[in-house]
Amino acid sequence: MSQWHPQTLRNWGNFPTIDGESTLPRYEDEWAPLLSENTSIGIQGQHRSYGDAGLWTKSIHTHQWNKILSFSPTESLITCQSGITFDELLQFLVPRGFFLPVTPGTKFVSLGGAIAANVHGKNHHKEGSLAQFIQSIDVRVNATTTLTCSPDNYQDLFWSTCGGMGLTGIIDQATLKLKPIPTSFIRQVQHKTTNLDETLEAFDRYQDWTYSVAWIDCLARGDQLGRSLLMCGEHAQVEELSERCKSNALKTHATPKLSIPCFAPKALLNGTTMKLFNQFYYHSQQSSKTPRIVHYEPFFYPLDKIKHWNRLYGRPGFIQYQCLLPLSQGKAALTSILQTTAKLQQGSFLAVLKRFGKEELVSPLSFPGEGYTLALDFKQSDTLKDLCLQLNDIVQNHQGKIYLAKDALTPEQTFKTMYPDWNQINQVRQKYFVANIQSLQAQRLNIIA
Amino acid sequence: MPHLLILGAASDIAQATAYSFAKHGFHLTLAARNVDRLETLKNDLVIKHSIQVELKEFDACDFASHLSFYQSLISPPDVAMVCFGYLGDANKFGKDFEEAHKIIDVNLTGAVSICDILANDFEERQSGTIIGISSVAGDRGRKGNYTYGAAKAAYRTYLSGLRQRLFSANVHVLDVRPGFIATQMTAGLQAPQLLVAYPDRVGEDIYKAFARNRNVCYTPWFWFWIMQIIKFIPEPIFKRMNIR
């Protein structure tokens, strides 16, 4: 029988936090009683969303629901319980010559969480979001029923679950299509730009590269607005490796050794330190003359080297503001947003710009679409809500939307305008008698009927 | 291929140790109550490490069944780890003798029962390692868990004598003393975050201690020093302290 234990529940941004209780099921027979209780329930994986996504006072955690159920190297397929992390998957897959088809900027996410947020990666412009690579999902809709859904079976449940923020049922297990790789190294090039026009032009020029992402200096102003470092990569072939690397061509990543042991003083990351960091980082980097060979870890997961880096923002925490701007509006919207953040000197040293490709999905709450996505970390402050409202106005005026997996402050009406098909979540919940799964975010945005 | 028998395989430490040994090529027999629940774990171990895994029903408190359980194993193990335990509910201490009885039965009597059987067989075969999980709680009785601590203290004295008995038979005995580990057993208990360790770390430490033929292993290592200090505190002072 699962035990409930009091816990302060939070996501990666440490804002908001709530006092609640959690439980950690390990065995099949524990689920039915959990879903039969006459209270609403939340579900969380690794708590790597930022705002209030998935947070609820009674929360089922999936850390122990993490086993591999089957693996077929010939078909490039793996089936796992939803609590398995991308970290655990890579440890298993890389030595066997496989990589994840889509990965966000950290490997410490659960498969279930990644599906619920329909994560995207540096290869979205060429290969799409995670949902494109999910062959099937077993969704535990209530205490007595688990449905295996796919693009051919219970399609509405499948597409609502991808990007559905966990509201369509418990993602129990999923089958993922894998990417065969020749080595665990990446051929990387880096291109430095001096303004936004050059940055957007560079994304076009390098669009044939499988992986691309830009670090953007969100505090630069005037004619340096939008200056960036664009990084592009391809999986390296064996012949490209040095002799030393060739001897372990499918080397996996190491466990992080560094960790921030406690919350830093909230004054540590301020306008001055961020500006200094951005100046230093921008000027210390150069465009590549020739490609470099790097391991996948620093290319895909540079921040994973430091555990608990989120504590650098102090106990009050931070949010990540991530928006999608349609292609035709991209330059105008980005200019407006960057001018706003630079003028207010509100910004972060982690500002990421990616180009998205077309998305053909029919997920009501899924985020990616053709255009640009900009992600900015903002420290918690009294002016943060106003800043987000200003940015939301810009995004809305350019027919863009925000990413629910990062959101903490968007008002209900803004969200419903950005996601006009949001009510399909309720239609699916009613149709399949989905249990009373809730989250603070769903409550704030008034998603659940 | 060497063979590890884990008794009490439902515990988090047992499962973490299963993965550590599997990584080094050990075949496994996982023994627990309701052992069918471990099918998914078994499957995961086989997929990840290409080893053989057998599941066997085992009840630490059904002492009469221990000999037939051991004799029914397909092959005798090279290493056997006694990993079952019961922490008990501190609120019942002094009020409910059944609780104390259960703590002693699981942590001591059951452990002695199966270890005697293991010892006799390993001694006859003149080889093998017995790993017993005691606890830092056995270093000194504390008001938060003294019945559990007493059982663990008795068990470690037993392991020490067993080690001496089996030395001439080339059988090794390892006493593992975990500190505060975040597991099912300790879920809901409070401890300073810096002191809390996770089962994966313990699983690695146990394998390393086994490979190095250690006699005693505190995991994580710093608990040796913490308990040296705790043991050093004179009783007139200790009895006034609020260490749980």
Q: What is the pLDDT averaged over residues A383-402?
A: 93
Q: Which residues in B lie closer than 8 A to residue A71 (C-beta atoms)?
A: 47
Q: What is the pLDDT averaged over residues A252-271?
A: 85
Mean pLDDT estimate for chain B: 93
**Nearest-CA distance from A5 to chain B in Å?**
5
pLDDT for position A349: 67
Residue ranges of A 225-244 with Cβ closer than 8 A to chain B: none
The answer to whether the CB atoms of A27 and B37 lie below 8 A apart is: yes
The answer to whether the CB atoms of A70 and B47 lie below 8 A apart is: yes
The most distant pair of C-alpha atoms in chain A lies apart, rounded to whole Å, by: 63
pLDDT for position A282: 86
In this complex, the residue of B47, B188, B194 whose CB is nearest that of residue A68 is: B47
pLDDT over 80 at A350, yes or no: no
Q: Contact, A73 vs A56, CB < 8 A?
A: no
If you count residue pairs, one on A and one on B, with CB atoms under 8 Å apart, how many are there?
30
pLDDT for position A1: 63
Backbone angles phi and psi of B65, in degrees to 5: -90, -10
Helix (H) or strand (E) run with residue B71 in it:
helix B66-71
The pLDDT tens digits for B105-164 are 999 999 999 999 999 999 999 999 999 999 998 889 888 889 999 999 999 999 999 999
For residue B54, give the 3-state DSSP assignment.
strand
For residue B195, give the 3-state DSSP assignment.
helix
Q: Choose, out of A21, A30, A67, the residue to mutate when testing the contact with B (most B CBs < 10 Å).
A: A67
**Nearest-CA distance from B161 to chain A in Å?**
37
Helix (H) or strand (E) run with residue A414 in it:
helix A412-418
The answer to whether the CB atoms of A24 and B47 lie below 8 A apart is: no
Q: Which residues in A lie closer than 8 A to residue B44 (C-beta atoms)?
A: 67-69
* Banded pLDDT at B89 (limits 50, 70, 90): confident
Q: Which of A354, A301, A359, A374 is nearest to A129 (CA)?
A: A359
pLDDT over 80 at A307, yes or no: yes
Which two three-digit tokens encode residue A120? 């995207």
Q: What's the whole-model pTM score? A: 0.94
**Residue A197 contacts B, CB cutoff 8 Å:** no
Helix (H) or strand (E) run with residue A147 in it:
strand A146-149
Q: Which residues in A lie closer than 8 A to residue B43 (C-beta atoms)?
A: 67-69
Q: Which residues in A lie closer than 8 A to residue B37 (C-beta atoms)?
A: 26-29
The answer to whether the CB atoms of A69 and B48 lie below 8 A apart is: no
Q: Contact, A137 vs A106, CB < 8 A?
A: no
Q: What is the pLDDT averaged over residues B170-185?
A: 92
The answer to whether the CB atoms of A5 and B47 lie below 8 A apart is: no
CA distance linking residue A280 with residue A302, whole number of Å: 17
Helix (H) or strand (E) run with residue A429 in it:
helix A424-431
Q: Which residues in A lie closer than 8 A to residue B45 (C-beta atoms)?
A: none
pLDDT over 90 at B183, yes or no: no
Angle at A8 between CA A321 and CA A389, to 5 degrees: 20
**Nearest-CA distance from A79 to chain B in Å?**
11
CA atoms within 13 A on the CB side of A149: 24
**Nearest-CA distance from A364 to chain B in Å?**
34
pLDDT over 80 at A344, yes or no: no
pLDDT over 80 at A271, yes or no: no
Backbone angles phi and psi of A415, in degrees to 5: -60, -45
Q: What is the pLDDT averaged over residues A193-219?
A: 94
- Looking at per-residue pLDDT, the higher value among B26 and A342 belongs to B26
Q: What is the pLDDT averaged over residues A23-46?
A: 93
Angle at A310 between CA A367 and CA A200, to 5 degrees: 45
The answer to whether the CB atoms of A6 and B194 lie below 8 A apart is: no
In this complex, the residue of A29, A71, A261 whose CB is nearest that of residue B47 is: A71
**Residue A173 contacts B, CB cutoff 8 Å:** no
Where helices occur in A63-178 by DSSP H, the ranges are 86-93, 111-116, 124-127, 155-161
**Nearest-CA distance from A163 to chain B in Å?**
27
Q: Which residues in A lie closer than 8 A to residue B41 (C-beta atoms)?
A: 67
Backbone angles phi and psi of B224, in degrees to 5: -60, -50
**Residue B198 contacts A, CB cutoff 8 Å:** no
Residue ranges of A 26-85 with Cβ closer than 8 A to chain B: 26-29, 67-71, 81
The pLDDT tens digits for A310-336 are 998 888 899 999 999 999 999 999 999
- Looking at per-residue pLDDT, the higher value among B204 and A362 belongs to B204
Backbone angles phi and psi of B80, in degrees to 5: -130, 130
Which segment of A59-63, A183-187, B18-22, B237-241 scores lowest on mean pLDDT?
A: B237-241
Mean pLDDT estimate for chain A: 93
pLDDT for position A112: 98
pLDDT for position B175: 97
Share of chain B above pLDDT 90, in %: 80
Q: What is the pLDDT averaged over residues A78-86?
A: 98
Q: Which residues in B lie closer than 8 A to residue A70 (C-beta atoms)?
A: 47
* Banded pLDDT at A38 (limits 50, 70, 90): confident
The answer to whether the CB atoms of B43 and A92 lie below 8 A apart is: no
The answer to whether the CB atoms of A69 and B40 lie below 8 A apart is: yes
Q: Which residues in B lie closer than 8 A to residue A27 (C-beta atoms)?
A: 37
Answer yes or no: is the ipTM higher than 0.90.
Answer: yes
CA distance linking residue A394 with residue A235, whole number of Å: 37
CA distance linking residue B6 with residue B32, whole number of Å: 8
pLDDT for position B192: 76
**A256-260, B89-93, B226-230: range with highest mean pLDDT:** B226-230
* Banded pLDDT at A359 (limits 50, 70, 90): confident
Q: Contact, A218 vs A348, CB < 8 A?
A: yes
pLDDT for position A155: 96
